[in-house]
Amino acid sequence: MNPPHGLLFIFSGPSGSGKSTITHEILATVPGLAFSVSHTTRAPRPGERDGEDYHFIDKRSFLALRDQEPSGFLEWAQVHDNLYGTSVHEVRTKQLQGLDILLDIDVQGAQQVLAKRPESISIFLCPPSVDVLSKRLQRRATETQESFVLRLRNARKEMSHAPDYKYLIVNDVLQDAITAFRSIIIAERLQHRRMPNGQPAPAKLW
């Protein structure tokens, strides 16, 4: 199959699973892959930059974008009391440039994207255990106790959806998880980017 534009990689996993670390490493080392910068009503954490980590917007603006006809969002969801969404514009612009897109979204968002774009490639990142996850979350100075409890509860719920994803990566040893992710991207590119005569596409794939 030859998609007319870049591939969509959906990357989900509970808070504290190491998703952000892996996402940063993959984006820094895999050419031709762009991050889909989501919109959120969550307040920025120290060090986060508007337009790079997220488009930080207020709830009113978020709802206005959501309620546009057609909706400004490819998907959106409430996660941990905040609203998050992937804008149609963000994805379309980057895909039309021939870039593959990485969506870091939760399981609700993943279901919506898969319903609209079934050719998307879904990857779920698991911590080695709930115990390890709990310790990782506790170490994060960014979380209040209340937010910690909420995130842990949501993590258990999220992990029950892991079997719905095409690929499952367990983040036990970070470098192994990164290698696994990179291998998935390479394999999917090799599978999708064939020339009509069956020859591989000449572009550099990793």
CA–CA distance, 48 with 137 (Å, rounded to integer): 18
Q: Is 102 in the site for ligand 5GP (CB under 6 A)?
A: no
Q: Is 75 in the site for ligand 5GP (CB under 6 A)?
A: yes
Nearest to 81 by CA among 10, 161, 146: 146
The interface region with ligand 5GP, picked from 63-71, 74-82, 88-96, 179-187 by CB under 6 A, is: 74-82
The interface region with ligand 5GP, picked from 75-83, 93-101, 131-139, 196-204 by CB under 6 A, is: 75-83
Quick one: 54 or 185, whose CB is closer to ligand 5GP?
54
3-state SS track over the chain: CCCCCCCEEEEECCCCCCHHHHHHHHHHHCCCEEECCEEECCCCCCCCCECCCEEECCHHHHHHHHHCCCCCEEEEEEECCEEEEEEHHHHHHHHHCCCEEEEECCHHHHHHHHHHCCCCEEEEEECCCHHHHHHHHHHCCCCCHHHHHHHHHHHHHHHCCHHHCCEEEECCCHHHHHHHHHHHHHHHHHHHCECCCCCECCCCCC
Q: How far is the CB of 145 from ligand 5GP (least distance, A)?
A: 16
Q: How far is the CB of 69 from ligand 5GP (least distance, A)?
A: 20
Restricting to residues 145-174, name those near ligand 5GP by CB under 6 A. Answer: none
Restricting to residues 22-61, name those near ligand 5GP by CB under 6 A. Answer: 38, 42
Q: How far is the CB of 94 from ligand 5GP (least distance, A)?
A: 14
Candidate list 9, 35, 62, 84; residue touching ligand 5GP; CB under 6 A: 84
Q: Is 6 in the site for ligand 5GP (CB under 6 A)?
A: no
Q: Which residues would be at the binding site for ligand 5GP (CB under 6 A)? A: 15, 38, 42, 75, 77, 79-80, 84-86, 104-106, 108-109
